Structure 1
């Protein structure tokens, strides 16, 4: 309760002082209802809003608020304050709001107000003043906008009581005159205020009442009168008994007092009044008195007439003559008619004849009007919170030709079709509000709405998807919040004019496709059940300027990326962004703001991923191609493969068995024209480096006296490998051809693979004579080694060659001497 009162007090302060609500930087201290007897000493020095209401504080000393230089608002209401030190608030130069109501202050001089130069709101009502003669301190309150006065003691009001504020233009003055005993005519007319509120004195002082009301009608354009009571025992009456009738002896009741003096006072309105806005609060009277007072109001300058909290003790027939004058607004809020049995037509007749543009009757709990007669001037009718108005209200009513706005919130409507039928003769109706009823639509049907309707509020009902089949065709604004809608139908042909659509707090699995509403500018779909707004939804909303999709259970996946980017990539204003847009799924991301959720383009785009893969493969192919071109990579690979294969075969060969019959590691066949390469490159790398090899050359190892062919065959048979150095010169040598022939024959007979072909220079196939068909066959079938001109490649070439012919040979001394006979 304390917190509620504190919040209300802060709201009043901010409204009256034309200030903003407290920001996060404001320092607010709430010590209301804390049983304090003195002002706390430990208040923060930066306090701006301080609430000390509803305590037991009796005195205010000069030092109590001396340290609070930033204080703007101080609430000391409902304490027991009797004394305040002179200039109590001289250190509070920023003080704008001060509430000292409901205390025990008796000195109206109010010297405590000295030096409070910024004060805008001051309430000192309901104290123990013996008069309302304001002191000199009030004349310095040049910024004052609101002043509340009043006393619980019997008081007098004299002409000079308000002279100290007569030069100050106020926004509102509220004076409690319930205890008034004497009044000098003209005392109120010295006030300069936009609005005057007066709690009237008792009906017992009839002359006093008339004088006060006469002045009140001539002070300001806005007047509010409280406590009009001329039926004092109404609060004692049973709900089914009129207070102005006698009943059985068991239920003795006083006769209601005559309300003539109130009626007589309102006559002044006709000729001597400047009031244009009149409000009456807390009325207790009979219906006849109310209609009599209303007659004078309709005949006056009053444009806006408001009645709040009216209790009607008796309802009897009363004639209210139709006035030619039309009021702008007539509001009755909280009307309570005590008699249970009365003629309802008496109430109907009153609202049938009055002329008013805007009629509001709320919280009456009864039917107050039916279809009015022709000639009515109603443009707005608000019958909210009456609880008895249902489907039969205004059915087939053809007289509301000027009606533009009809508000029927919180009543008993439950059939949407009946509501539409109610409007079909209202040719000017533009806005209809039937929210917070129990509306349903049982079946898909076309409803007979008026063609003029452009704004419809059906929120807080029980409507489902079928509602879209029963909507007026010219709607521009449609409110369907808080219903039971799960989806918007795919075919909608009658809402092309719609500009604003409110679908919050339903059960939508997806937001509606904007292509169904080609002119849609504002869309609210907050608090629904959709997880991933589709990209087609975003693409279809070409004219959308405002979107509210907050508080939905978003699933943070790739499908949500387009929706998140909408804030950056479009001009659409997103309500509630970013605080009300969070991930609900998966659990690992629950609570993460959508603005903080990021996935890469590669992760979410299959096309992009495919392009990257294909691009990488293409780039790799190009790199490999360049390497092949500039670094001869295929040659290296081929040579490495050959070396590996040779090593594998060498591991499988029985070297001990081979060495028994072999003398040389290799026999070299070459053309005499290539001898420089053989002797300068081949022999040094095979015989002198690494593991020395025994090489057989015809010019040093052929046995003299034997035929050349015999020597060739003998050398080939005693060598593990036969190396042929191929070049164009080799083709021209007859003996080289013989050596190749016998070596190939040896390979076939032994079923071994001991031929090694070294291509010293490229040999085009067309240069090889046909008689060398065996050479062609070998080069086509057998892998050969190419001599690289690049020195960086030659080391691999020699390693590969040595691996090919590497074998351990253990020659006898005879063999060894035989081998070296020609050296």
Structure 2
């Protein structure tokens, strides 16, 4: 049954309708709720269809890679993207392959049909898949296939037909077409020499896999016709015929034997191993998924020691039985270079007497020894100088007592003790002190700590040290080998760089990722440093001094830190463009954490202005702005004649100050005059002949203050002006072009205007004797402009008929009853003298 979105929706809707129908019983019947079992079945069914349909739809989104693994399919989906290149249909219930299943997938390169129930498929099922390179039909129910069905796939590199129900190895002449085949997986219950000849014609394959779990008969010599670099055989659970192993030992350079069980007897395995001579073809032997006792395991190792095998690997080892005696290995003339035991489980282990059985491995005279995940609690120091160059004792239970005072590892260059139970860094250092050739030490993923004051004695030859994933603090920098070139301290608890690191003059690579650092280390202490990793720390910013000190570092990784995107970080962004080194992980690993509005923003997308970050530039702009403002103010002051107003204000203030300090008897009486007249000397004839006579009328009812007759001798001109304005009810200004040319008229207007605002009075009367164009009025007369714009002024009429009304209006505006006071005749001597304070006769200076 093929799935599609419409079909899935239809099935889900049908299930829902059926369930709801249970609630709608006829009205004549008693309504009953569905039972718990019915509800459970519906929920299970509906959820399964929902999940299944969604999985199918989502997994087919990619046009090139389609994965339908473990989706309960019972046939190949009919709707697949035509551009599919990788199709995974493994772990389903597919039983048949039809001609039309893959016709439109002409670009298909990898097809995985393993772990299904395929019994057969059409002879031309792959006729449109000439591009196919990887075909996996393993773990199915195939009993026979038509060789012609594979003929069209001439570009196959990987063909796996293992773990099926073939009785014989496929006898196909079509194998000769597979010129590019590198991996071939087969299985059978019977193996004959003739059936393997066709495979031999393929030339040298990289890997031939034979699943012989159900092997019933084997023709001796059959395997030796094969040409392959690696032969992998899954043995029967109970191997009765050892001839297959005899042949396997001389078939390929690499031999892997899986599913070896020797709990009670192991002669059928050990005897073939014993026949491997020094001149045999096999050089790498791999035994995986093996169950064996200590006794038989040692016999296997002894057999390998005297063979041509150079690399012996044991995976998934289960140790059973007892081991009560010890026979040392004689490995003096062995060809073996490396022994590896990985993922070992010891069900029964019993030892009595001395020496310890582990001594059998520590005294092996080989170059490379590996024990990974074997549960080892201790490894003995070799009893004599060892040939070990590499020791890998990873994922065990070794402690700090390992190799203490051990002087028999003179050739050891690499020691890997990852994921053990080491706790004291000082003891680790003393462990290496006698290793005269040690260059690389890996003690990562332990529980190492270091306290200040503990003595450390490292091997002087140690160049590469991995101390990652421990519990080291900054104090650990006081316990490091001085000649180390590559130092890995990532995933510790280092918060600052200890001064002890200054002694590491040869350091070339330093990894401090995933610690507690808050700033970039000072690179000036590392003359040879080329690579620095400080990613995933607590760096908010990178100081400019530290960046400059790291100018010669070839590569720096500072990614995945909680960066504060401010001006200090701007230095790092600019420095990145200037440095000759690489910034690893840029830009995707460099993001802002603070401030909140920039969180998640890439540093390359953060733009901080030069002004906001450059103090000198900011100061220059501020000072420049202030200077420009001052110049602007000075210009406006000069333009509006501010110095003149300041001078007048000062004179006014000085006069008022003198008046306050003068005896009241000496002060003039207020409102002595009805009006004070301000005019230009050039307009004096009009004032004397027209203005004054028409206002005074000779009856004394109106008193006019004129400078020629009322200024008090001995006082300054400004004091007289101020006193006259204050003693007069009104101030009359005779305006004309001559008026605006008179400096003293300007003073009088200023003081009168000042009185207007300070006393909140209406004391100004403007008489426009002659029209004054606006462009003739100087800028300092802006008050005159304002007064003429806002106040009503009297314009001297040229027609005589209007003069009477003019004088009447003017007299009415100043005719008030003045308070009584004693008259004092204070006149200027030499009344014939003209207005001496005119700017054309008296200097203002």
TM-score normalised according to structure 1 size: 0.74
What residue number does 1:361 align with?
A: 371
Shift of 1:27: 2.8
Query: 1:74 maps to which residue?
Result: 111
| Deviations 1:163-194, CA, capped at 9 Å, x for gaps | 24523432211112233333334422333322
CA apart distance, 1:436: 1.3
- 1:12-53 deviation line (CA, Å, top 9, x unaligned): xxxxxxxxxx9x976322222222211111222222222211
CA distance in 2, matches of 1:743, 1:812: 33
Q: Classify the secondary structure of the residue corresponding to 2:503.
A: coil
Query: Please, which of 150, 154, 175 is the counterpart of residue 113 of structure 1?
Result: 150
Q: Of residues 544, 566, 581 in structure 2, which corresponds to 1:535?
A: 544
Deviation of 1:356 after TM superposition, in Å, equals 1.2
1:326 Cα deviation after fit:
5.0
Aligned to 1:282: 289
Match of 2:214 in 1: 179
Is the contact made by 1:77 and 1:100 (CA closer than 8 Å) also made in structure 2? yes
Distance 1:751 1:345, change over 3 A: same
Cα–Cα, structure 1 residues 623 and 165, in superposed 2: closer, same or farther, change >3 Å?
farther
Per-residue deviation, 1:501: 1.6
Q: Give deviations 1:778-809, integer Å, cap 9, x for gaps.
A: 99x999xxxxxx99554657876686999769
Contact 2:368 2:388 (C-alpha < 8 Å) held by counterparts: yes
8 Å CA contact retained: 2:374, 2:395 = yes
Question: Which deviates further from its counterpart, 753-762 or 595-604?
Answer: 753-762
Aligned match of 2:456: 447
Does the 8 A contact of 1:194 with 1:221 survive in 2? yes
The answer to whether the 8 A contact 1:150-1:175 is kept is: yes
- Offset at residue 382 of structure 1 (A): 0.5
- 1:608: Cα distance to partner? 1.7
Shift of residue 741 of structure 1? 12
Question: Hey, what does 1:633 align to over in structure 2?
Answer: 639
- Asked whether 1:696 is paired with 2:686, we answer yes
Distance 2:209 2:254 in 1: 12
Q: Return closer, same or farther for 1:800/1:282 CA change in 2, 3 Å cut-off.
A: closer
Q: How does 1:186-585 map to 2 (within 5 A)?
A: 186-201=221-236, 204-206=239-241, 209-210=242-243, 212-231=244-263, 256-257=264-265, 259-312=266-319, 313-315=321-323, 316-325=325-334, 327-343=336-352, 345=355, 347-367=357-377, 369-387=379-397, 389-490=398-499, 492-585=501-594
Deviation (angstroms), 1:348: 3.1
2:515–2:537 contact (8 Å) kept in structure 1: yes
User: Which aligned segments of 4 or more residues in structure 1 are displaced greater than 4 angstroms?
Assistant: 201-204, 619-628, 634-643, 657-662, 664-667, 697-703, 717-723, 739-749, 751-763, 790-817
Distance 1:29 1:814 in 2: 111
Provide closer, same or farther for how the CA distance between residues 406 and 759 of structure 1 changes in structure 2, counting only shifts above 3 A.
farther
Q: Deviations over 1:759-791 (max 9, x none)?
A: 99999xxxxxxxxxxx9xx99x999xxxxxx99
* Residues in 2 aligned to 1:359 and 1:432: alpha-carbon distance in whole angstroms: 15
Q: 1:620-648, CA deviations, whole angstroms, 9 ceiling, x for partnerless residues?
A: 556677899xxx725598599999x99xx
Could you tell me how far 1:84 is from its partner in structure 2?
1.1
Check 1:358–1:721 CA distance in 2 against 1; reply closer, same or farther (3 A cut). Answer: farther
Q: CA deviation at 1:198?
A: 1.5
Relative to structure 1, the CA distance from residue 749 to residue 555 in structure 2 (aligned partners, 3 Å threshold; closer, same or farther) is closer
Q: Secondary structure at the match of 1:468?
A: helix
Which moves more between the two structures, 50-59 or 163-172?
Answer: 163-172
Distance 1:140 1:297 in 2: 38
Match of 2:133 in 1: 96
Distance 1:698 1:456, change over 3 A: same
1:286 CA displacement: 3.4
Distance in 2 (alpha carbons) for counterparts of 1:566 and 1:801: 64
CA distance in 1, matches of 2:358, 2:722: 130
What is the distance in 1 between the residues matched to 2:341 and 2:289? 12
1:607 lines up with 2:644 in the alignment: no
CA contact (8 A) 2:331 2:365 kept: yes
Task: Provide the secondary structure at the position in 1 that maps to 2:191.
Answer: strand
Q: Are residues 808 and 319 of structure 1, via their aligned partners in 2, closer, same or farther at CA, if it must alter by over 3 Å?
A: closer
Aligned counterpart, 1:669: 681
Q: Give the 3-state SS of the residue equivalent to 1:229 in structure 2.
A: strand
Q: Displacement of 1:537 after TM fit? A: 2.1
- Structure 1 718/49 Cα, relative in aligned 2: closer, same or farther at 3 Å? same
Query: 1:391/1:743 Cα in 2 relative to 1: closer, same or farther (>3 Å)?
Result: closer
Q: What is the Cα deviation at residue 73 of structure 1?
A: 1.6
* Deviation at residue 747 of structure 1 after TM alignment: 4.6
Structure 1 residues 573 and 782, CA, compared in 2 at 3 Å: closer, same or farther?
same
Work out the CA distance in 1 between the residues paired with 2:136 and 2:716: 129
Deviation at 1:65, TM superposition (A): 1.2
TM-score by length of 2: 0.72
Report if aligned partners of 2:169, 2:195 keep a CA contact under 8 Å in 1.
Answer: no
- Superposed CA deviations along residues 716-762 of structure 1, whole A, max 9, x for unmatched, are x9977779xxxxxxxxxxxxxxx999999975884669899989999
Q: Cα distance 1:155–1:719, how it changes in 2: closer, same or farther (>3 A)?
A: farther
Q: Does 1:169 align with 2:181?
A: no
Give a deviation string over 1:257-311, Cα, whole Å, max 9, x none. Answer: 2x33323212332155122222122223333433333334233332222111223
8 Å contact kept, 1:391–1:413:
yes
Q: 1:169, 1:414 → 2: CA distance? A: 51
Of 63, 83, 91, the residue aligned with 1:54 is: 91
Question: What's the offset of the Cα at 1:405?
Answer: 0.7
Over aligned residues, Cα RMSD in angstroms? 4.4
Residue 58 of structure 1, CA deviation: 0.8
Q: How far has the Cα of 1:449 moved from its partner?
A: 1.1
Within the alignment, does 1:27 sit opposite 2:64 as a pair? yes
What is the CA distance between 1:580 and its match in structure 2? 2.7
- 3-state SS in 1 of match to 2:159: strand
Structure 1 gap ranges (5+) = 1-21, 232-255, 647-656, 671-682, 684-693, 704-716, 724-738, 764-774, 784-789
CA distance in 1, matches of 2:505, 2:465: 15
- The structural deviation recorded for 1:660 is 8.6
Unpaired stretches in structure 2, ≥5 consecutive residues? 1-58, 653-669, 694-701, 753-772, 797-801, 811-845
d(CA) in 1 for partners of 2:456 and 2:382?
A: 24
Following the alignment from structure 1 to structure 2, what is the Cα–Cα distance between the partners of residues 814 and 33?
118
**For the structure 1 residues 318 and 660, does the alpha-carbon distance in structure 2 shift closer, same or farther, using more than 3 Å as the test?**
closer
Please give the alpha-carbon distance, in whole angstroms, between the structure 2 residues aligned to 1:478 and 1:36: 52
- Aligned to 2:357, the other structure's residue is in SS state helix
1:208-241 per-position Cα deviation (integer Å, ceiling 9, x unaligned): x23x23332333222212233332xxxxxxxxxx
Native 8 Å contact 1:566 1:572 kept in 2:
no
Q: Deviation of residue 587 (structure 1)? A: 2.4
Q: Deviations over 1:510-550 (max 9, x none)?
A: 33222343332222222222322322221221332222222
- Compared with structure 1, are the counterparts of its residues 635 and 268 closer, same or farther at alpha carbon in structure 2 (3 Å cutoff)? same
Deviations 1:369-412 (A, max 9, x none): 3111333210110111122x111111000010100111111112
Conservation of the 8 A alpha-carbon contact between 1:270 and 1:297: no
Distance 1:638 1:513 in 2: 65
Counterparts of 1:69 and 1:510, CA distance in 2: 57
For residue 492 of structure 1, report the CA deviation from its aligned partner. 3.4
Q: Describe the shift of the 1:99–1:744 C-alpha distance in structure 2 as closer, same or farther (beyond 3 A).
A: closer
